[in-house]
Amino acid sequence: MAFKQQLRGLLGSLAGGVLLALQPAAAEPTYPSRPIRLIVPFAPGGTTDAVARAVATKLGQALNQSIVVENRAGAGGSIGTDFVAKARPDGYTLLLGSAGPLSVNPTLYPNLPYDPTRDFTPVGMICTSALVLVTSSASGIASTADLIRQAKANPGSLTFSTAGVGGASHIAAELFASMAGIKATHVPYRGSGPATVAAVAGETSFTFTGQTAAWPMVQAGKLRALGVGSRERSAEHPEVPTVAESGPVPGYEALDWNVIMAPPGTPESVVRALSDGLDRILDDPELRASFVQQGIAIRKGTAADVQALMRHDIAKWAKVIEEAGIETQ
């Protein structure tokens, strides 16, 4: 009899434990009570990494808790992004998301282990950063219109360097070529640094690169900025026209963007604490000034805005990838 009672008690405890494990994560009353990890799905040094470190500092101060940036690179950002998708939904593992892993990779990688629109809880938007169309100062190409004229006069003679197949610089260039009605040969490199150096050396005719890499080279006289990929001119370099106006290539836009994402099932109170903190720090004058100097534009947005942006860009880049026949190896 005693044994049966003990067995019933044990089974009851196990059943209770199973039910508890199946319940959604409950919010801590004092969140955050320990350090938060902010996952960057790329190697240190890029724009996304710079944004992550600036946001981690300011958001950590707003939440009165440290936020540690952790780089988990690989597969075009898919590895680190998937890591967060499968993390415990307690608010202590977050993603500094960007356009590549969340809007390009769904088409580029057929067996992507996550769905950007389903497998995350959006916290909010942070910023956008336009790519810059540049050429060597010694190339003889004076403007975007000049580049297009040369490409049409000698089809296939121009080349463009990129940070790799399917990366932001690649699809930005393919979109440009398609909208401008030109043909150019793709030359992939291992990273944005080598791709930019190739353009400086004249090994390739042009490239699209991030503003943090472009402006120092332009100011040093090594590169000529032909146009920025945003709808409006850069606040820091208003003398450089947009690609859309200087081609002209009406409607052209090539932006990277950054958002904060949490795993699916993260408690609403945790998401609210994070989004409220993010909203406050994006008004911080020091952060805004730092971003402007790097060619980064603050862009606030709700969870619904993040979802709408992802869906729009997934469709946009899918068309470019399919028309250009871009495939990962």
- The CATH number assigned to the domain holding 271 equals 3.40.190.150
Higher-confidence residue of 100 and 19: namely: 100
Q: Give the mean model confidence (pLDDT) for residues 183-193.
A: 89
Question: Which residue in 284, 296, 229 sits closest to 257, CA to CA?
Answer: 296
Residues 212 and 187 in one domain: yes
Residues 95 and 56 in one domain: yes
Q: Across 21-35, 143-157, 179-193, which has the greatest mean pLDDT?
A: 143-157
The answer to whether residue 218 scores a pLDDT higher than 50 is yes
Residues 207 and 123 in one domain: no
Report the 10 Å Cβ neighbour count for 189. 21
The range of the structural domain enclosing residue 182 comes to 132-246
pLDDT at position 38 is: 99
pLDDT at position 226 is: 98
Residue 206 within any structural domain of the chain: yes
Please give the DSSP secondary-structure letter assigned to residue 242.
B
Number of domains in the chain: 2
What sign does the CA torsion over 261, 263, 269, 273 have?
negative
Per-residue pLDDT band for 315 (boundaries 50, 70, 90) equals: very high
Please give the DSSP secondary-structure letter assigned to residue 29.
T
Q: Give the mean model confidence (pLDDT) for residues 257-274.
A: 98
Is residue 248 reached through a cis peptide bond, with omega within 30 degrees of 0 on the bond before it?
yes
Is residue 106 reached through a cis peptide bond, with omega within 30 degrees of 0 on the bond before it?
no
pTM of the model: 0.84
pLDDT at position 25 is: 52
pLDDT at position 10 is: 36
pLDDT at position 2 is: 42
- Identify the three-state secondary structure at position 181: coil
Domain boundary among 246, 266, 292: 246
Report the 10 Å Cβ neighbour count for 199. 28
List beta partners, residue 258. Answer: 98, 127
Identity at 52, one-letter amino acid code: A
pLDDT at position 20 is: 38
Question: Which residue in 306, 147, 127 sits closest to 210, CA to CA?
Answer: 127
Residues 154 and 242 in one domain: yes
- Beta strand spans in the chain (E): 36-40, 67-71, 93-98, 121-130, 132-136, 159-162, 185-188, 206-209, 223-228, 255-262, 296-301
Strand order in the sheet with 159-162: 185-188, 159-162, 206-209, 132-136, 223-228
Give the tens place of pLDDT for each residue, 74-104: 888 999 999 999 999 999 999 999 999 999 9
How far are the Cα atoms of 4, 132, 177, 189, 235 from residue 196, in angstroms, in the given order?
74, 11, 18, 9, 22
- Identify the three-state secondary structure at position 283: coil
Residue 169 within any structural domain of the chain: yes
Report the 10 Å Cβ neighbour count for 219. 11
What is the C-alpha to C-alpha distance for residues 297 and 47, in angstroms, rounded to an integer?
A: 12
Residues 136 and 241 in one domain: yes
The answer to whether residue 313 scores a pLDDT higher than 50 is yes
Residues 143 and 240 in one domain: yes
The answer to whether residue 44 scores a pLDDT higher than 90 is no
The answer to whether residue 312 scores a pLDDT higher than 50 is yes
pLDDT at position 212 is: 82
Residue 210 within any structural domain of the chain: yes
What is the C-alpha to C-alpha distance for residues 107 and 165, in angstroms, rounded to an integer?
A: 13
The answer to whether residue 70 scores a pLDDT higher than 90 is yes
pLDDT at position 26 is: 56
Please compute Rg for the chain using Cα positions: 23
Q: Give the mean model confidence (pLDDT) for residues 199-223.
A: 94
The answer to whether residue 14 scores a pLDDT higher than 50 is no
Residue 1 within any structural domain of the chain: no
Residues 104 and 43 in one domain: yes
Residues 288 and 276 in one domain: yes
CATH code at position 213: 3.40.190.10
Q: Quickly tell me which residue has 């009406």 as its tokens.
A: 250
Mean pLDDT, rounded, of the chain: 90
- Beta strand spans in 54-120 (E): 67-71, 93-98
Give the tens place of pLDDT for each residue, 287-310: 999 998 888 999 999 999 999 999
The answer to whether residue 8 scores a pLDDT higher than 90 is no
Residues 140 and 106 in one domain: no
Question: Which residue in 87, 139, 27 sits closest to 264, CA to CA?
Answer: 87
pLDDT at position 28 is: 60
Domain boundary among 246, 266, 282: 246
Residue 139 within any structural domain of the chain: yes
Higher-confidence residue of 82 and 18: namely: 82
Domain boundary among 213, 246, 279: 246
Residue 303 within any structural domain of the chain: yes
Q: For residues 306 and 122, is the Cβ–Cβ distance under 8 A? A: yes
